[in-house]
Amino acid sequence: MPNLKVIHVITRLVVGGAQENTILSCKGLRDRGYDVTLVTGPEAGPEGSLLDSARASGIPVIVLESMRRNPRPILDLVTLHKLKNLFKLEGPAIVHTHSSKAGILGRMAAKKAGVPVIVHTNHGLPFHDRQNWFVHRFWRFLERRVAPATSRFVCVGETMKRRSIEAGLAPPERHEVVYSGMEIPPVAHYAASRADLRPRLGIRDDEPVVGWVGRFVAQKGARDLPGVMDVVLSRNPKARFQIVGDGPLRPEIESAVMKLAGSDRVRFTGRVAPEMVSSYMSVMDVAVLTSYWEGLPRVAAQAAMAGLPVVAYDVEGASEVVRSGETGYLVPVGDRRALADRVLEVLSRPDRGRSMGEMGRAWVADRFDGRRMVDALDRIYKGLL
């Protein structure tokens, strides 16, 4: 079905899992003969922007200045009108939306414009148990309003599918699990990067490295990092931490870390290009994930691909990436001491840690291959037309 027009819509192209997933989907579908356009808003953030990356890939990108992440009623109405006019003008066979704001407005506009097929990817539901009741009910109401217009819900994991069905958005037959795909570097890439980067970072061969990759925001549990570090650094004199990422809480976290004994063994890289994340993961020996909620923890999958055992909070979706006791460990959400204890356990048995990492790589390599994700989207699209 060559030259079938598809428009993907996402609220903003900051550095993040949903955004990387969307760009990879657009590139893969274009390579399979689809006529793909990507629509997004202008907002960036301390995480960095993927807008230039999307444009460099050759995908046509349309930036709607009115599309913003936070609720802004007047601009939201303007965006709805612009999207509807765009869809009428372009006449896509499929509109595929991502993220909360674009998911609501994009599906409304596509329905009004008479788009035949409307697909939405649930990277993470906009309502969850840690919100106040008004915000929770507001987002749940909006999702239920646009759900009938949705031809298919693409869920990044089984847990996300279950939550969407339980929320009454649509019956099971209108949901499909497609794991969030990514480009998988060869094993040789990690070995070469480790040999090159560890000496440049001043890391000795006998110094185990604990890694954390993410955005410095409350959702990612950034405030739990100093407590975990304090336990690990005090009990393992050779351990070091490599912290990769940026965000609004970074100054607060760095200030807290400076007060720890052994703070000289913690390195903050700041924001790095997405293509460099795998290289920084190569210097690590174990990855920690402190998220308090996720759709599916994409960073855990990236770490497993790097051959790292993963120690994480047992948020929804984590068990689809980490097989506790086999490829890493899952601990109760918010239990910093348990997280630190499991990290120390992995560091005390390096052979066991490497074995866990190898098992983790085998577990995620097929599930999260970007080519498999695009194959699934291609099949879903054709089945809906």
For residue 1, what pLDDT band results from cuts at 50, 70 and 90? very low
Average pLDDT of the segment spanning 346-352: 96
Residue that the structure tokens 């499991």 belong to: 342
Q: In whole angstroms, what is the distance from residue 117 CA to residue 182 CA?
A: 25
Q: Which of 44-48, 78-82, 159-163, 228-232 has the weakest average pLDDT?
A: 44-48
Average pLDDT of the segment spanning 351-364: 95
Contact at 8 Å (CB) between 66 and 82?
yes
Q: Which range, 1-10, 47-56, 80-89, 256-265, has the best average confidence (pLDDT)?
A: 80-89
Average pLDDT of the segment spanning 128-135: 81
Q: In whole angstroms, what is the distance from residue 129 CA to residue 309 CA?
A: 28
DSSP secondary structure, 139-164, as one string:
HHHHHHHHGGG-SEEEESSHHHHHHH
Identify the DSSP state of 42: S
Inform me whether the pLDDT recorded for 192 exceeds 90.
yes
Q: Which of 126-140, 232-246, 270-284 has the weakest average pLDDT?
A: 126-140
Instruction: Name which residue leads in pLDDT, 171 or 127.
Output: 171
Walk me through the domains of the chain, giving residue ranges and CATH numbers.
5-181+369-384 (3.40.50.2000), 187-365 (3.40.50.2000)
Strands, DSSP E only, in 141-221?
152-155, 175-177, 209-213
Q: Quick check: helix, strand or coil at residue 8? A: strand
For residue 2, what pLDDT band results from cuts at 50, 70 and 90? low
Identify the DSSP state of 328: E
Q: Quick check: helix, strand or coil at residue 243? A: strand
Q: In whole angstroms, what is the distance from residue 31 CA to residue 352 CA?
A: 41
Q: What is the largest CA-CA distance in the chain?
A: 63
Contact at 8 Å (CB) between 246 and 45?
no
For residue 15, what pLDDT band results from cuts at 50, 70 and 90? confident
The per-residue pLDDT for 86 is: 98
Axis crossing angle, helix 298-305 with helix 350-365, rounded to the nearest 10: 110
* Rg, Å, the chain Cα set: 21
H-assigned helices in the chain = 17-31, 51-56, 73-90, 100-113, 133-146, 158-166, 187-200, 225-235, 250-258, 277-282, 298-305, 336-348, 350-365, 370-384
Residues in CB range of 83: below 8 A, 6 or more apart: 9, 39, 64, 105, 106, 109, 110, 113
Strand partners, 270: 244
The per-residue pLDDT for 296 is: 86
Inform me whether the pLDDT recorded for 357 exceeds 50.
yes
Phi, psi of 107 (to 5 degrees): -70, -35
The per-residue pLDDT for 45 is: 74
- For a pLDDT cut of 90, what percent of the chain falls above it? 84
Please say whether the dihedral angle defined by the alpha carbons of residues 66, 71, 77 and 82, taken in this order, is positive or negative.
positive
177 phi-psi bin (left φ>0, alpha ψ -120 to 50, beta other) = beta
Average pLDDT of the segment spanning 124-131: 81
270 phi-psi bin (left φ>0, alpha ψ -120 to 50, beta other) = left
pTM of the model: 0.88
Contact at 8 Å (CB) between 164 and 122?
yes
